[in-house]
Amino acid sequence: MDEENNVLLKRYDRFLADSMHTLKNLISPISAYVEMLQSGLVGEQKAGEINEKIGLCANTATQLCTSLMNIFRVRGELIDFRAEKVNPYQILQEYIFMMESNLQLKHITVENLLDPSVFLWCNANMLSSVFTNLITNAVKFSHENGTITVFGEQVEQERFVIRVKDEGVGIDEAKIEEKLRNKTDYFTKGTMNESGTGLGLLLVQAILEKNDGSLRAYNNKDKGATFEFTLPLYKEK
């Protein structure tokens, strides 16, 4: 496990080293686009195109910042991890509220069908990071006006599975399974040509492992894909 952690941390260090340059490349065009809009010299159609580009840049920058925060969380929790009583329904509701503007870029609806009475035994910040990465991933591969459904059920006496289901383009199951098994990066463009960090699923996997959980992904029978993860249920003492 120590060797695996060292390999993962080296990959994170490489990612961190590139992140500031990437953020600069995202922020610079946003500043230029804002100046163009403020000049009042662009027509209505051009302004709409500029607003769309600003939204895409801002969304990618948000994903990058989220990944950076997740990396710091994982790195810190490799040393000191503390579980607590966590309500996944509430955490997901908070995510939906905070990310409403990003979801509206593609007019995506996130349905929270989790049972509000269920509590898990894990780290609240890390569960929030799992939701952020998996739903961001689902949005990325969803078409406009799509729906992402989050639901769960008890699968064993002391375990709970949560599923994030989208209606998008689907996944390469074999490739994702190989990447997770070998802990290597996985990255493809989204339905609106969105870029990304390539580390999202690795971060989710690392977070879940620290919370005694697991991750798997598969295509739906009709359309889209589902990412599901298991975590321990909270037990009253």
The DSSP bridge pattern shows strands 109-112 and 147-156 to be: parallel
Taking the CB of residue 71, how many other CB atoms lie within 10 A of it?
24
Q: Are 98 and 213 in contact (CB under 8 A)?
A: no
pLDDT value, residue 89: 97
Among 217, 227, 222, 194, CA closest to 106 = 194
Please compute the mean of the pLDDT values over residues 25-37 and round it to a whole number.
Answer: 79
Lowest mean pLDDT among 5-14, 132-141, 214-223: 5-14
Shortest CA distance to 198 belongs to which of 12, 24, 29, 5? 12
Q: How far apart are the first and last CA of the chain?
A: 30
Are 122 and 138 in contact, with CB atoms under 8 Å apart?
A: no
Q: Which residues contact 63 (CB under 8 A, 6 or more apart)?
A: 136, 196, 197, 200
pLDDT tens profile 62-87: 766 766 666 665 555 444 468 899 99
Q: What is the CB neighbour count within 10 angstroms for residue 205?
A: 22
Residue 112 three-state SS: strand
| Residue of 76, 98, 26 whose CA lies nearest to 210 | 76
- Residue 88: inside a domain: yes
In a domain, 67, yes or no: yes
pLDDT of 80: 47
Q: Which residue has the tokens 């999202």?
A: 200
Does residue 115 or residue 51 have the better pLDDT? 115
Evaluate whether residue 182 is within a structural domain: yes
The CA-CA-CA angle for residues 123, 170, 125, to 5°, reads 10
| Predicted pLDDT of residue 72 | 63
The pLDDT assigned to 150 comes to: 97
Phi, psi of 185 (to 5 degrees): -65, 150
Write the pLDDT tens digit of every residue in 143-202: 899 999 999 999 987 999 999 999 988 887 787 777 676 655 555 666 666 655 456 777
In a domain, 58, yes or no: yes
Asked if residue 237 is part of any domain, the answer here is: no
- Give me the domain span that covers residue 141: 2-232
For helices 173-182 and 200-210, the axis angle rounded to 10 degrees is 60
- Residue 120 resides in a domain: yes
Residues paired with 136 in a beta bridge: none
Total domains in the fold of the chain: 1
Query: What was the pLDDT predicted at 79?
Result: 40
**What CATH number does the domain containing 48 carry?**
3.30.565.10
pLDDT higher than threshold 70 for residue 221: yes
List the structure tokens of 102. Answer: 């990003």
Give yes or no for residue 11 having a pLDDT over 80.
Answer: no
